[in-house]
C-alpha cells in the first residue's frame, strides 16, 4: 500500500510504494440521475455504456445548451405522447478548439452544478402507480 507525504518539496512529495486502487472525482464524463445525484466515470466506462446502447440500438441523445445527454431509450416512459426518463443518463460537453485532441471538455463539480441547473427546466415530476418520481422530459 502506498504512503503519502506532503511537505512542499516537489521532488520528495507524493506517494511512495504501490497504489492498489485509485479513482478520480472529476473527469470528462459524468452520470447524473433524475434525483440530481451524480458521479464521474472514466472514458473506458463511458465508451462501454455508449457502445452497449449503440449495439442494442437503444442510444438516445438529447442536446441541452452546450451539453450532450446520452440515455437508454428502453428506459423511456410515454405519457400523453411525450417521453420521460426516470433514472440516470450520461453527460458530456463537446470540447472547444483549445481542448483538442479531446472530444469532450473536462467537467468539474461546478460544471455538473451548471448542467443540473440547465436541466432543471427539463425535469418534471411524474406520478407512477401512486409514487412520485423526478423525470427528464426528452421530447
Residue 48's closest CA among 56, 96, 102?
56
Cα end-to-end distance, the chain, whole Å? 50
> What's the rounded Cα separation, in Å, for the pair 127 and 105?
36
Look up the pTM and report it.
0.80
pLDDT in tens, 12-51: 778 777 777 766 655 789 999 999 999 999 888 999 999 9
Q: Domain locations in the chain?
A: 15-137
pLDDT in tens, 65-119: 889 999 999 999 999 999 999 999 999 999 877 766 678 888 888 888 999 999 9
Decide: 87 and 75 in contact? Cβ < 8 Å. Answer: yes
4 has pLDDT over 80: no
Amino acid at each position: 500500500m502506498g504512503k503519502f507525504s506532503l511537505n512542499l518539496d516537489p521532488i520528495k512529495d507524493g506517494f511512495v510504494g504501490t497504489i492498489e486502487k485509485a479513482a478520480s472525482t472529476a473527469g470528462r464524463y459524468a452520470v447524473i440521475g433524475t434525483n440530481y445525484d451524480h458521479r464521474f466515470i472514466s472514458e473506458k466506462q463511458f465508451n462501454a455504456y455508449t457502445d452497449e446502447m449503440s449495439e442494442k440500438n437503444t442510444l438516445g441523445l438529447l442536446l441541452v445548451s452546450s451539453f450532450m445527454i446520452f440515455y437508454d431509450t428502453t428506459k423511456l416512459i410515454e405519457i400523453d405522447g411525450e417521453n420521460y426518463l426516470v433514472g440516470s443518463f450520461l453527460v458530456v460537453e463537446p470540447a472547444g478548439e483549445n481542448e483538442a485532441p479531446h472530444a469532450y471538455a473536462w467537467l468539474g463539480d461546478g460544471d455538473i452544478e451548471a448542467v443540473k441547473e440547465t436541466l432543471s427546466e427539463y425535469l418534471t415530476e411524474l406520478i407512477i402507480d401512486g409514487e412520485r418520481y423526478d423525470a427528464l422530459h426528452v421530447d
